[in-house]
Structure 1
Amino acid sequence: MAGTQSRRTLIAAGIACALVGGLASCSSSPATSKDGVVTITVNGMPPMTQPVDRKYFEEDIKAFEKEHPKIKIDAREGQMDPKTFSAKLAGGQLEDLYYVYFTDPAGLIARRQGAEITKYVKNMPYYDDIKADYLKVFTSPDGGLYGLPNGQYSLGLIYNRDLFKKAGLNPDKPPVTWEEVRAAAKKITALGNGTVGYADYSKNNQGGWHFTSWVYSLGGDIALEGNDGWKAAFDSPAGRKALQMLHDMRWTDNSMGTRQLLQIEDVQKMMGAGKLGMYMAGPDNIPTIVKQFERKYEEYGVAAMPGKATLGGGNGFMFNPKASPEKIKAGIEWVQWKYLNPERTEFEDKRASNNDVPIGLPLDRLFTGMAQVKQDAAHAKYANVPQKNYKPFIEGNAKIQQKVEPPNAQQIYAVLDGVMQAVLTDKDADLDKLLTDAAKKVDGILATVK
C-alpha cells in the first residue's frame, strides 16, 4: 500500500510521538472541547449521487448526536484509498475513523497504521456476538484488536427455482457438493432450448476470483505465508480437482454451454433470461437480476458454497494511530450504534421498506447468538422477499469456513483468469502445467508483499 519512503516517514513519525508520550499525543486536533464534547472525523458517508442513502446517513448522525450529546460526528465522503492513504496519515489529514475492506487490515496493522482498540471494546454492547471470523480480520498476530466489521459478503450459488422444478430437482434442497452441482447441471441442460446448467466467469479478474472460491471450497488455499514470506498454494490437489471439475462439466457433460470468456454481466443476463440453472455469486446479485430483467424474487434461491469453505469479504472501520483514547471510545460508540446495533434493525427495515429496498436477503450477517436472533426477527417482520428461498444459504454458511482474499488479490486474479480461460476454451488443456506455470507467476507477485 505505502511506498518505502512513506513507510519510513510514518515509522519516524511514530517514534517521535512515542518519545513524547505515545501516538495519542500526535493527534492532529484536540481530543475534547472545553465543554467536554469529543468531535471525531469519519469517512464512509454516501456521495450526493446516492441521495436516499445520504439522507439516511445524515438522519442517523442527528439521532446519534441527540443520544450522545458529548460526541459530534464530522462525516466525509470516500473510503480508504491505498494511493493516498499514507500521505493523508503522514500529513495529519486521515480521518479518526476510516473505512477499510477486509483485505486491508493485515497490512495496515503490520505497518502500524491503525490504533489498537482491544481495551476499549470490553463493555461494547453485543461485542461477544460478533462472529469471530470477522473480528479475526482485524486482529494482529499477537492478539490485539484494531478494528470492527460493519458489512460482509460470502459467495454461494444463485439458482433458478423454476428450472430446478422442470428438471425434477427439489428447489428447497439445492446441491451441497460439487458432485451434486455437476449432476444437477446435467439435468438442467437436458431441458434444451439453449438452457445452461452452470456458468462461470473467466474474464476481467473475475475468473481468478471465482477460481479462488473453488479452491477454498475444496479445502485448499491460493497463497500461504511461511518463514520465507508468501507463496502460491493452489498447485495442489484442491486446485487440480477444481480444474478437473470445470473441465468435465464443460467438455464431458456439455453443461456449461459453448459460449465462454464470460463476466458477471453476461451470467446475470443468462439468469435473467431464464436460461441458466446456477452460478457462483452472493445474494446481492438477486436484486440486480430482478430489477434489470423484470423478474420476480420468488424465482430465485441461494445455496451455500458446496464444500468446506467459501470466499468471503467485507468491510469495516479502523482507527487513526494518532487518535486519542477519547476519540477511539467515541468512534467505537458510533460504529456500534450505527452498524452493529440489532436494536435499530427494525427501525432501519421500516425506513427502507418505504423506498422499494429488498428486505430479508441474507446479507451482512455479522452476528451470532441473540444479536442475530433480534436482527432476523426484524427482517422477518418487514421482509418483502421470500426468505425461505435463502434458508439453504443461511444454514449452509453456518457450517463452512469463510476465507478472505489473498494478498495482492487483483494481480493474482489476473493470472488465474488465464487458467480459467484455458480450461473452459481448450478441451486438451494440460491442467498440471496450467497450475505450475500460474504458481510461478503468482510467486513473483507475492514476493512484493510486505
Structure 2
Amino acid sequence: MRSSRTTALAMAGVLSLGLLAACSSNDDSSDSPSGASGKVTIKVAGLLPTADDAAKQQLADRVASFEEKYPDITIETEDYDWKASTFTAQLAGGTLPNVFEIPLTDGKTLIENSQLADIDSYVKALPYGDQFNEKLIANGTGEDGKIYAVPAKSIYAVALHYNRNLFTQAGLDPDKPPTTWDQVREDAKKIHDATGVAGYAMMALDNAGGWQLAAGANSRGGVIETFDGENYTATLDDKAVKEHLQWLHDLKWEDGSLLDRTDLGWGDINTEFAAGNLAMYTSGSDVYNSLVESNGVNSDWGYGLTAIPTSGEGGALTGGTMAAVTKDSTDAQKDAAVKWIDWWYLSKLQDKDQAVADAQSRVAANPPQAVGTPVLPIFSQANYEQSQEWITQYINVPLADMKGYTDVMFTQNLVPEASASVQDLYAQLFPVVQAVISDEGADIDQLLEDANAAGQSAIDSAK
C-alpha cells in the first residue's frame, strides 16, 4: 500500500507544483547542526525484498560512495516493504531502521503521536532545505513548525499500466490506449477473447484493494471522505464507489475478462503483470521502477503507461513516500540520517553531479535499472525538468510508450487522499472488493453501508 493525506482542503491542489525556485548546489558541509562528531552507524530502509541483484548492487555502490564522502558514517541497509498490516507493530516494537519510509499522509498522525524524530535543524541546513513543494513538506511538519519527515520519492498519480503486446495481439492500437472506463472494459474483453489472458486485474488484498477502489471512485468524481471544516465524514457508499464496484462486477461476471484473483496486493499484481497474466491494471505512475528491479521488465518488454480514465469532476488519486527517522535515534544518528536522505533520495534532484552519478550507477547495473521514470516533482516542475535534462543521455525507460501519461502529468486534475483514518477506510473497502470479485450475487449497497459505518467509527474513535 502506498499512502494517505492531510486535510482535503489543505491538500486540494497538493501538487499545484508552485513556482518554487530550482535549487542551488548540493555541496555538503561537514558541520552538523548538533555539532555531532565521531563515528556513527545507522540502519536505513533499502529495497523491496524482491529486488534483483542489479538493484542491490546499485544500492551498494551508492552506499560505498556515501561512506567515501562521509568516512565516519557506516550505513547498514535493510530490505523494506511498508505494509499497513505490519508497520504499526514494527514501529511499536522498535524494529524499524533509523531511516524508514512512510506514506505521504501518515506523517501528520505519526507526528501528533510523537513517534518521529525532530530532524528540523538538519533538513533546514541542506542547501535546498527551504525549497520543498509547500503542500508536500506540510505532511512532514508538526504544529510546532518543525520538520519530522520529508517527501523522498515516488510522488505519483494513479495511472493505467498496460501490456502493449497484448493490445497488438487483440488487434488494438497500443498507441491509443483507452481513455474512458467503458473503453477499458471493451478493450479488456477483446484482449481476453483474442488471447485468453485476463484483460484487467484489481488489487484486492489488504489496504491495497481499498486504495485502488478509492482511486477508481476518485476518477469518477467521487470521494471516500468529506470535511466540512470541523468534522470528517466517511462516504464509502458514495455513488462513484458503487459505480466502480459494479464495473468490476460486470468485468468478472458478464465479460469474464477480470483476473480471477482476490489475493493481489501491490507487489503481487506487479508480478502477475510482468508474467503476462493480465493486460491492464491501475497503480501509482512510478511502478515501472519496481517492475524493472523486482520483476525483470525492461524497455523491450512492451510496457505502456497512460492516464487513469476520468469523467466529470474526477481526477487521479495522488500519493507518495516520505523519509523519517526513528524517535530513539541519537543526535549523531539523526545528523547521519539526514545526510543519507539527502544522498539517496534527494541530491540527484538538486545537484547535477549527483544526478549523473546516480544515473550512471543505475545504467551500469546488470541488468540496467530504470532511469527517467516519470514522477511528480518533490520541489518544482522547473526543478524536475532540469534534473531530467541532466540525465537525458542515461534515460532508458520507454518514454515514447508512456505519452498517455506524460502528456497530461502536469495538467490532469489531481485528487488528494482522504485525510482522517485513511488506512482504516481502505481496510474497510478491500473486503468489499474481494466480495464483489468472488460472489456474483454480492449486495454492493449493503456491503458499502456496513463498511461506511465501520469507517465512520474509526474516524470518530481517532478524535
Q: Into which bin does the TM-score normalised by the smaller protein fall?
A: 0.7 to 0.9
* Mapped pair 1:313 → 2:320: yes
RMSD: 4.1
Which one-letter code corresponds to 2:360 in the other structure? K
* Mapped pair 1:147 → 2:159: no
Alignment match, 1:351? 361
Which one-letter code corresponds to 2:396 in the other structure? N
SS of equivalent residue, structure 2 residue 371: coil
SS of equivalent residue, structure 2 residue 66: helix
Please state how far the C-alpha of 1:357 moved relative to its aligned partner.
Answer: 3.1
Please state how far the C-alpha of 1:380 moved relative to its aligned partner.
Answer: 3.0
Deviations 1:59-109 (CA, angstroms, capped at 9, x unpaired): 23234437xxxxx535455579644646869xxx995x6654435311122
Q: Which moved more, 1:163-172 or 1:206-215?
A: 163-172
Q: 1:249 aligns with which of 221, 228, 251?
A: 251
Which one-letter code corresponds to 1:437 in the other structure? D
For 2:297 and 2:117, the matched residues in 1 are separated by 47
Which one-letter code corresponds to 2:316 in the other structure? A
Please state how far the C-alpha of 1:299 moved relative to its aligned partner.
Answer: 0.8
Aligned residues: 405
1:266-305 paired onto structure 2 within 5 Å? 267-268=269-270, 271-272=273-274, 274=276, 276-282=278-284, 283-284=286-287, 288=291, 297-305=300-308
Alignment match, 2:346? 340
Query: 1 or 2 for the larger relative contact order (CA 8 Å, sep ≥6)?
Result: 2
Which one-letter code corresponds to 1:61 in the other structure? F
* Mapped pair 1:427 → 2:440: yes
Alignment match, 1:442? 455
Q: 1:98 to 1:194 in 2, by over 3 A?
A: closer
Alignment match, 2:138? 136
Please state how far the C-alpha of 1:434 moved relative to its aligned partner.
Answer: 1.6
Q: 1:432 to 1:294 in 2, by over 3 A?
A: closer
Please state how far the C-alpha of 1:419 moved relative to its aligned partner.
Answer: 0.9
Q: 1:321 to 1:231 in 2, by over 3 A?
A: farther
TM-score, normalised on structure 2? 0.71
* Mapped pair 1:195 → 2:201: no
Q: 1:42 to 1:304 in 2, by over 3 A?
A: farther
Which one-letter code corresponds to 2:264 in the other structure? Q
SS of equivalent residue, structure 1 residue 199: coil
Alignment match, 1:220? 222
CA contact (8 A) 2:299 2:396 kept: no
Q: 1:106 aligns with which of 87, 105, 108?
A: 108
Please state how far the C-alpha of 1:266 moved relative to its aligned partner.
Answer: 6.5
For 1:319 and 1:375, the matched residues in 2 are separated by 30
Alignment match, 1:73? 73
Alignment match, 2:34? 31
Alignment match, 2:164? 161
SS of equivalent residue, structure 1 residue 396: coil
TM-score, normalised on structure 1? 0.73
CA contact (8 A) 1:46 1:53 kept: no
Please state how far the C-alpha of 1:303 moved relative to its aligned partner.
Answer: 1.6
Which one-letter code corresponds to 2:384 in the other structure? Q
For 1:421 and 1:318, the matched residues in 2 are separated by 35
Q: 2:213 aligns with which of 206, 211, 214?
A: 211
Identity of aligned residues (%): 27
Which one-letter code corresponds to 2:341 in the other structure? V
For 2:289 and 2:296, the matched residues in 1 are separated by 11
For 1:361 and 1:139, the matched residues in 2 are separated by 29
CA contact (8 A) 1:134 1:149 kept: yes
Bigger Cα Rg: 1
CA contact (8 A) 1:216 1:311 kept: no
Unpaired stretches in structure 2, ≥5 consecutive residues: 1-32
Alignment match, 1:390? 402
For 1:205 and 1:87, the matched residues in 2 are separated by 22
Q: 1:59 to 1:440 in 2, by over 3 A?
A: same
